[in-house]
Amino acid sequence: MVSLVIYLAVGIAFYWIIKYMIYDEVETRLKVEMRDFESFIRSHDTWNNNSYFVENKIEVVPVSGEYNHAVVFKDTLLQNRYDEGIGPFRQLTFYTIIGGVPHRVAIRKSMIESYKLIEAISAAMVTFLGLLMISMFMFQRRLSGKLWKPFYDTLTRIKEFDLTKKEKLQLPQSEVTEFSELDDVLKKMADKMQHDYTSLKEFTENASHEIQTPLALINARVEQFIQSKDLSENHTYWIEEIYHASRRMSRLNQGLLLLAKIENQQFTDSEDLDLVDLLKSKLSDFEDILTHKQIEVKMDLRSRFDINMSPSLADILLNNILSNAIRHNYLNGQLYLESDENFLKISNTGSALSTDPERLFERFKKESAGAESVGLGLAIVKQICDNYSLEIEYTYHETIHSIIIRQEVKEVTG
């Protein structure tokens, strides 16, 4: 685009320069004709309108009164004396005295050949510049493709690079110094990322095992104490408090470890799933508690909601949403399940919110003060949705709490 603008500017400038030079040449020749005419008048002091200088037309007209002594050039159209067509002429007008009477003299020169010359030069220039621009475009495109090929090869390798696998990032060798240095930096970054990922994965796995083991032991021992008949009522109360605290710590540990695994994309298995079908099967798992709380379930599942994701994470996603919708529901409340090809919506009746609904997706942000809640359920749901490019929204209107999951809409550019 820059070259095109430059070529247009150069072409226009070149056209006006050529036109200026041709006009300057024609006007110089007209001035010579004017001097020849004045020399002829000084010698003969008369003029015959039938006299013509070569290639020119001269018109001599007597004038009366005051007249301007200026020499004026202008363009005009006249009938060509060699054919019947109207052609362009350059005219020089001046005043002189012939036989003691002032006369206006107009000397004209045909511009047909000059215009043909300008047209020929302009056409040649446009053709030359056009061919030059096309040639440069093809050359630059080929050269650019060759120069940038290592970069695009590197970009392709980076896109295909999987952090969760043990294969190191392999990049093609490049003779371009800058690309070679870029490849070295990318390799070091990839190695460091793989090392950090492996370290974090090992820590997560070790933490999951090492922390859960003593917590399970604490819970087992506390349960034995609770079942013991030798404890006083006061001792039983404190042991139950310890038991609930240890169970909450266990759930908290499991939730944080699960979040770490999701963020580090350790759930690499994936398959095509229909969340609507999975939702129906999950609903049967909560049948007992639904019956116990006498919650009415209303379904308007109009179509499938297909997505490619880890079955484990899909199960956790729907389990957390349904668990929240049932746990925070009223006795004799209602549960609404809706779906379309573009969204999946789970709604429930519940108490009024005292905080911004969107903030409930933050970690440890919870509306309920119950000991059973650790404030990570919706944070896990949000993290799963983010990993699979799903949009999630929490809305509240007139005691109805709704969580809506949508396929992320990708913008189309054209």
Give residue-wise pLDDT tens across range 6-33: 878 888 888 888 888 888 888 898 888 8
Res. 367 pLDDT band, cuts 50 70 90: low
Q: Which helix (H) or strand (E) holds 400?
A: strand 400-407
- Model pTM? 0.49
pLDDT at 111: 80
- Kindly state the helix (H) or strand (E) to which residue 175 belongs, with its residue range: none
Q: In the predicted model, is pLDDT for residue 343 greater than 80?
A: yes
Q: Any alpha helices (H) in 163-264, and if so which ranges?
A: 177-227, 233-263
Residue 414's pLDDT is 40
Question: Does position 390 have pLDDT exceeding 60, yes or no?
Answer: yes
Condensed to tens digits (0 to 9), the pLDDT of residues 170-184 reads 887 777 788 888 888
Within 8 A by CB and 6+ apart from 95, the residues are 63, 67, 68, 69, 102, 103, 104, 105
Q: For residue 337, list its beta bridge partners.
A: 299, 346
What is the C-alpha to C-alpha distance for residues 235 and 232, in angstroms, rounded to an integer?
Answer: 5
State the average pLDDT for the chain: 80
Residues 395 and 357 sit within 8 Å (Cβ to Cβ): yes
Class of domain 177-263 (CATH, top level): mainly alpha
At residue 78, the pLDDT reads: 75
- Asked if 285 contacts 321 with a C-beta cutoff of 8 angstroms, the reply is no
Q: Are 328 and 368 in contact (CB under 8 A)?
A: yes
Mean pLDDT value of segment 237-251: 75
Q: What is the pLDDT of residue 82?
A: 60
Q: Is the pLDDT of residue 404 over 80?
A: yes
Q: What is the pLDDT of residues 39-83, one digit of tens each?
A: 888 888 887 765 554 445 788 888 887 777 788 888 888 766 666
Q: Which of 26-35, 141-150, 255-264, 396-405 has the lowest mean pLDDT?
A: 255-264
- Asked whether the predicted pLDDT for residue 238 surpasses 70, the reply is yes
Strand pairing class (343-349; 400-407): antiparallel
The answer, yes or no, to whether residue 261 has pLDDT greater than 80, is no
First to last CA, the chain: 19
Can you name the residues that pair with 97 across neighbouring β-strands? 102
Q: What was the pLDDT predicted at 54?
A: 45
| pLDDT bucket at 231, cuts 50 / 70 / 90 | low
Q: Which of 96-110, 188-202, 254-268 has the lowest mean pLDDT?
A: 254-268
How far, in Å, CA of 25 to CA of 17, rounded? Answer: 12
**pLDDT at residue 412, as a whole number:** 43
What are the structural domain ranges in the chain? 2-118, 177-263, 271-407
- Indicate the fold that domain 271-407 takes in CATH: Heat Shock Protein 90 (3.30.565)
Query: What is the distance between the alpha carbons of residues 394 and 80, in angstroms, rounded to a whole number?
Result: 87
pLDDT at 260 (0 to 100): 74
